[in-house]
Amino acid sequence: MSVRFEVNGRPCEVAPDDRRTLVEHLREGLKLKATRFGCGQEQCGSCVALVDGQPRHSCQLEVGHLQGRSVATAESLADSVEGRALLAEFERLQAAQCGFCASGILMRALAFLRGAPDGSREAIAQALEPHLCRCGAHPRILAAVQAAWLATREGR
């Protein structure tokens, strides 16, 4: 029997013994290139996608274990109010310097916007802790997530 799941609302089917990781399937199987492969060891956060709304490291998740799950990647950001707010604020504040870490950060930020009652800088910094940014853009990234959090609360 096949393993069936969704990626950005689109049905996917793989064999139960498929040992490929989710990031491999996204990038090579589905040609969705937003999700990045960095360390491969759950250390950098560049591969984060949402699985049933929760941030997961797609570099360590085998597709054969995704039966019935719903996966969301950065390609789907424009499909939601929160995702559009993040895209707008990241652009307005020129928050991301590289395209490598950004999609993982954006997906974790999306889960944060949907779930967190506290949009303080401290809460955002803590939520983004699993993500490495080595270029000095972190203060702008925090500001952009905070602005997006506010925008969604104010219905902008």
Phi and psi at residue 144, to the nearest 5°: -65, -40
CB 143 within 8 A of CB 120: no
Angle at 127 between CA 57 and CA 26, to 5 degrees: 25
Residue 7 vs 96, nearer CB to ligand FES: 96
Q: In the set 97, 116, 119, 123, which binds ligand FES (CB under 6 A)?
A: 97
State how far the Cα of 101 lies from the Cα of 46, in Å rounded to an integer.
Answer: 5
| DSSP assignment letter at 62 | B
**What's the token pair of residue 19?**
């040992």
Judged by CB under 6 A, the stretch of 41-49, 71-79, 107-115, 144-152 that binds ligand FES is 41-49
- Rule CB under 6 A: say whether 44 interacts with ligand FES: yes
- Rule CB under 6 A: say whether 61 interacts with ligand FES: no
- Rule CB under 6 A: say whether 78 interacts with ligand FES: no
Least distance from ligand FES to the Cβ atom of residue 152, Å: 22
* Three-state DSSP class for residue 105: helix
Binding site for ligand FES (CB under 6 A): 37-40, 42-47, 57, 59, 96-98, 100-102, 133-135, 137
